[in-house]
Structure 1
Amino acid sequence: MVPGAPVERYVAVQQLPDVGTDAFTNKEPFTRQPGGRAIFGGLLLAQAVSAASATVIPNFHVYSSHATFIHPVTATSKERLVYRVERIADGRSFVTRVVRATQGDGDRQSRCVFIATVSFQREDQVSAGSNGTLANVLDYGPPLPNLNGLGPDDISEDLNRQILAAFSGPDALLRPPSFSEGGAFDWRPFGFKQAETPWDCRVRSFVRSQEPLSDSIRSMPAVNLAALAYLSDESLIGIAMYANPKQVGKGTRNITMAATLNHKIWFHDPHVRADEWMVLERSTSWGGNGRVLLRQKTWNLETGRLVMTVEAECLLRLKPDVDSKL
């Protein structure tokens, strides 16, 4: 049966018995994913979560992923990508896995391209009681941004596509800061806030899986959390471009290099559903030395609870004759 949503295929991995017990690879060819020669970093994040989850018993759920991108992964390469999972710790309440992704023709030529530490917590340590929280822990989080009564149905489904078209020309001020051309998620942008200082800029969107997840895996936390890991990297670096339009230039013509270096995710709700509406807000806090720091907060629209926090450090270089103060 064909999965119900594209993101299900994107995050899926399969075991490689010929490599080892805890070795995995992408289930679908990367050439079928959106992007150019180098594959989208969100795929690595999501598939690392999927691979690590496959080595953990079902009553443990991932609560964080701290990843480093080391080398680009070529989508058109015939060399397979291998995720090797190392079982660092198996405790009664917490489990830790390290995932190393390598690409190459055989062990002798392969090199590490990505590494992630993925952490898990036992189910009865993360939810209890009628309100889904433990009685003996702190329980708080920032509220939803003010939506001014706006909902996803108030925004055209084609608006994201229209923004992409408007920003794609050579004379466009910027390419869109928080949306991807891929079909994994349905983005409904709203609440753009531009300011004199980059750290005061905000970009917001309603977002959910482009299609409902299939019935067989809709309630599987590992798949939903891997899907959110994919979501966390979609055009995230764009917020730094949006916050610095003069330096970036029309059509981002002053940018010579942009790539994610380090990416951290905290999953706050193991039972989040990727095919339910969420509210996503992105901002940037710092830029210097050719790097920028980005932040993303994601809430469940219905409950108003924070479900994911993301911080990323990205490489963003400008042409030598451009004022690089961000």
Structure 2
Amino acid sequence: MPASVTELAELLELEDLDVDLYRGPQARTERQRVFGGQVAAQAVAAATRSVEQEMRLHSMHSYFLRAGDTAVPIIFDVERIRDGRSFATRRVMARQHGRPIYFMTANFHTPEEGLEHQDRMPDVPPPEMGVPMTDLARQAGPEAAAEWEREWAALDVRYLGTSTMGLAEDPDHPARAQLWLRTDGALGDDPLAHLCAFTYATDLTLLGAALTPHGIHINSSRMQAASLDHTIWFHRPFRADEWWLYDQVSPIATGGRGLATARVFTQDGTLVATVAQEGLIRVRH
């Protein structure tokens, strides 16, 4: 995976093959399958290239269909479903070895004035008081720390706590996790780079929130875990290289699946995105 912000930006640069047809590069990794956030971020880049520059992505809804092969590039095929004066819709199919591995529908909106309200940001400590993910990884042993630094060094993650460690008890929400996140370095001023980097990062920790009440880590050998679908609503533009709060809640786990949602706030309390994901959390017996 990207070892720096520069490598992350390069990973999200697609090669034009034809009109609405792109090829996405692969990162160096020891993972057995392509990281879902990478496929989603590259699909966002592909879809955004097909709309007018003034339009903004306001939602994406996607399914992970098959495990991606880290040894070969990914082909992204964009279908222009609709172009209206206010909204545009795109469908993106990601393929490897001639088979679909990921499917996304994306909707774009021309910015306009409208009614305004939002949730209040939770009262949380600042990022500087969060625990760096590298420190948490070291607690699991030198191999875990080395893996984090090798695979996820492009991201700066500061954990604030979970429902079983560090957060105040909330009987109404037994599965919660909060953390601050940003890219570990500046991304420049291209809005698409921030959009894609944010999409990439949203898949990193969300499913783990569904496991917090159960005392099992998502990387445990007892756990078979995989993202099944991923949805993001983009409310306002923001920078992925500045701190954003990932306020995660899992309302339910049942039938071998867990659902998690998250509100995303910037440090000034602005609600900028909402994320939802359902994933496989099958315990091996």
| Interval of TM-score (by shorter of Structure 1 and Structure 2) | 0.7 to 0.9
Aligned equivalents of 1:165, 1:254: Cα separation in 2: 21
The reply on whether 1:88 has 2:81 as its aligned counterpart is yes
* Maintained 8 Å contact 1:169/1:251: no
Counterpart amino acid of residue 210 in structure 1? D
Counterpart amino acid of residue 37 in structure 1? Q
The reply on whether 1:42 has 2:17 as its aligned counterpart is no
Aligned to 1:141, what secondary structure does the other structure show? Answer: coil
| TM-score, normalised with respect to structure 2 | 0.88
Q: 1:166 aligns with which of 136, 139, 156?
A: 139
* Maintained 8 Å contact 2:162/2:212: no
Aligned equivalents of 1:244, 1:161: Cα separation in 2: 23
The reply on whether 1:140 has 2:117 as its aligned counterpart is yes
* Maintained 8 Å contact 1:64/1:119: yes
Which residue does the alignment assign to 2:107?
119
* Maintained 8 Å contact 2:176/2:249: yes
Question: Structure 1 residues 96 and 10 mapped into 2: Cα distance closer, same or farther (>3 Å)?
Answer: same
Q: Which aligned pairs between 1:19-34 and structure 2 lie closer than 5 A? A: 21-26=19-24, 28=25, 30-32=26-28, 34=29
Aligned equivalents of 2:127, 2:151: Cα separation in 1: 19
Structure of larger gyration radius:
1
Shift of 1:253: 4.0
Post-superposition CA distance 1:181-238 (Å, at most 9, x none): 5122211111433259694232111211110113xxx1x2222111111111013221
The reply on whether 1:243 has 2:213 as its aligned counterpart is yes
Shift of 1:22: 0.6
Question: Structure 1 residues 180 and 276 mapped into 2: Cα distance closer, same or farther (>3 Å)?
Answer: farther
Counterpart amino acid of residue 287 in structure 1? A
More strand by share: 2
Question: Structure 1 residues 286 and 92 mapped into 2: Cα distance closer, same or farther (>3 Å)?
Answer: same
Which residue does the alignment assign to 2:241?
275
Which residue does the alignment assign to 2:231?
264
Aligned equivalents of 1:181, 1:233: Cα separation in 2: 14
Shift of 1:249: 7.3
Q: 2:51 aligns with which of 52, 56, 72?
A: 56
* Aligned-residue identity in percent: 28
* Maintained 8 Å contact 1:198/1:285: no
Aligned equivalents of 2:175, 2:218: Cα separation in 1: 18
Aligned equivalents of 2:87, 2:55: Cα separation in 1: 8
Q: Which aligned pairs between 1:94-109 and structure 2 lie closer than 5 A? A: 94-104=87-97
Question: Structure 1 residues 35 and 204 mapped into 2: Cα distance closer, same or farther (>3 Å)?
Answer: farther
Counterpart amino acid of residue 186 in structure 2? P
* Maintained 8 Å contact 1:198/1:243: no
Aligned equivalents of 1:118, 1:299: Cα separation in 2: 22
* Maintained 8 Å contact 2:89/2:105: yes
* Maintained 8 Å contact 1:5/1:209: no
Post-superposition CA distance 1:261-314 (Å, at most 9, x none): 111110111x21111111111121111111110111110113x11111111110
Question: Structure 1 residues 193 and 4 mapped into 2: Cα distance closer, same or farther (>3 Å)?
Answer: closer
The reply on whether 1:234 has 2:204 as its aligned counterpart is yes
* Maintained 8 Å contact 2:208/2:217: no
| Runs (5+) with no aligned partner, structure 1 | 105-109, 126-133, 321-326
* Maintained 8 Å contact 2:210/2:250: yes
Question: Structure 1 residues 250 and 208 mapped into 2: Cα distance closer, same or farther (>3 Å)?
Answer: closer
Question: Structure 1 residues 226 and 180 mapped into 2: Cα distance closer, same or farther (>3 Å)?
Answer: farther
Give the RMSD, CA atoms, in angstroms. Answer: 2.6
Shift of 1:35: 5.4
Aligned equivalents of 1:22, 1:52: Cα separation in 2: 8
Where in structure 1 do 4 or more consecutive aligned residues deviate above 4 Å?
195-198
Which residue does the alignment assign to 1:152?
127
Shift of 1:155: 4.2
Q: 1:202 aligns with which of 153, 176, 180?
A: 176
Tell me which moved more, 196-205 or 34-43. 196-205
Aligned equivalents of 2:218, 2:5: Cα separation in 1: 38
| TM-score, normalised with respect to structure 1 | 0.77
